[in-house]
Structure 1
Amino acid sequence: MSKFSASDAAFSGFRLVRENLKTIAVWAAVMTVLSIISNVLAIQFFGPKLELLLGYISDNANPDPEEVARRAADLAPLMPWLLSYSLIVNGVIFAALNRLVLRHHDSRLAYLRLGKEELRQAAVWLLTSLVLMATLFVGSAVSGFLGAMGGATGAFLALLGLVGSFCAMIYLAIRLSFAPAVTFETGKVTLFKSLPETKGLFWSLLGAYLLAAVMSVIVVLLIWTIVSAIGLIASGDLSATGKMLRADTSSLKAYFTPAGIVQALFSGVISILTTLIVFGPAPTIYRELKGGAPDTPTTGGW
């Protein structure tokens, strides 16, 4: 395997957007439609309860965890639907991303499908999430046990336990970051086969992923700054502009306002852009390390 440039890899998501504008536009449109449908269904059946939770979190700088848990408990029936929706959407999007990078010639339907490859990607993301959550849970449990010792020593050990569990989760997330690409390439759900592929690359991957995450935050802030500026110029109402950042979910009538529609439209675009910027480097690096290249040269633009 060859080495790779962390700084160059961090910007691979931007290159994917620039070189596949038409495809990305289709993805953004599909994500926007799915997001609106999902929001409409959630608001139709859980609108008032959802608004109470979101309103409480947004209106309080330091929300009470017990109060958040109490309000979230009212939305328990919504959780299975949200989980299923997230798994299917992630499976489709990440299969499309891997197909775009690793099998560029297979561009039918803008790389979007719904089949075995998408189900395998959903399974990988579910397994990865469970492993990372289990790591954090075990670390938190150990930290709580150490904290029970009391005194300055117990507090210090508890802090070390929390920091250690967080570092372990980050380490695993990076070492397992090639799992979707390996799964896509082999046609089998794999998780820990990513470990030999990322051996000796932890710090380079960490640098690439951190830089990509920072770029993603900058892009999101830039987009919302532009949207807010447009809203302020159009309405002259700063408070109304702020509502574009979070639509009213208390009812469908409250949701389908200019602010709600703008929020829904841009949330789909932001979702696709952040996915490409943050997660695009992994399959790109994997392809480069394998000595591969896109099947066909990109023509750029539309």
Structure 2
Amino acid sequence: MSESFLPMGRLEWTLLVLLSVLWGGSFFFVGVAVRELPPFTIVALRVGLAALTLLLVVHLMGLRMPSTPRIWLAFFGMGFINNMVPFSLIVWGQTHIASGLASILNATTPLLTLVVAHLFTVDEKMTRSRLVGLMVGFTGVISIIGPDVLSGIGQDVAAQCAILGAALAYAFGGVFGRRFRRLNVQPMVAATGQVTASTVLIVPVALILDRPWNLTPPGTGTWAAVIALAVLSTALAYILYFRILATAGATNLLLVTFLIPVSAILLGVAFLNEMLEPKHFAGMALIGLGLALVDGRPARLLMRTKAQST
């Protein structure tokens, strides 16, 4: 079935930037949590606490969760593709490789989404402008984090493949999640259904593989990181995720992975007294140019202005 997605407006771009801040923080929170907790336990706590948070919000808002088996089957499909698989791969991958390299590998998500959307949708086809924009944006990500981080390529290949696998899962998740618009499922309900289904899927795995009752109780810092990961980087983030997906489509939505390094740098400047370096300005300029090329409006405005002048 064909769907119509308009170019992103001011609201969608604002939500995308906010989502990049929330997801940018997840790499830090995971980095703290993996020091004391095993991967599947972190994922189970992340989605479980997020599900409890969203179910409470849905109740307070007077919304009702659907009872249709078809919709819940979609929730479980989305939870598996978009939560269980990528969360587990990223957490495991971050136990073996640096977060900077993980961020760069994660930033392949829009490129993979462009390919997946081209193959499996009728309204998000690959265009030359989009492809060039994504390549420019990806170059900007490498510039911001620093090309030297790529020196780790070739080491811990399995962990690097895990991060790339997570990026591919996110690409399929973005395309799969479009169906909630056709099913008339509100973004809040879609976010709640996805993380609830994810919890049902991942908790048995964590219990069997990690045996969390045998673990040393984690410290206050770890619990704070897990709670922030669940409430901010998952519950709130997925409300924004499904809101953007419903109006802007999968390819535009997953541009967020280009903005995550920008958010991390700016947060460091604002709260950690870090300094902006020339590579940061160059990287942000390239990302801005890439996003403009993907969005397409600057090119259309230029063509319209040229047409009016002739």
TM over 0.5, shorter chain: no
Q: Normalising by the residue count of structure 1, what TM-score does the alignment of the two structures yield? A: 0.27
Normalised by the size of structure 2, how large is the TM-score?
Answer: 0.27
Based on CA coordinates, which of the two structures has the bigger radius of gyration?
A: 1
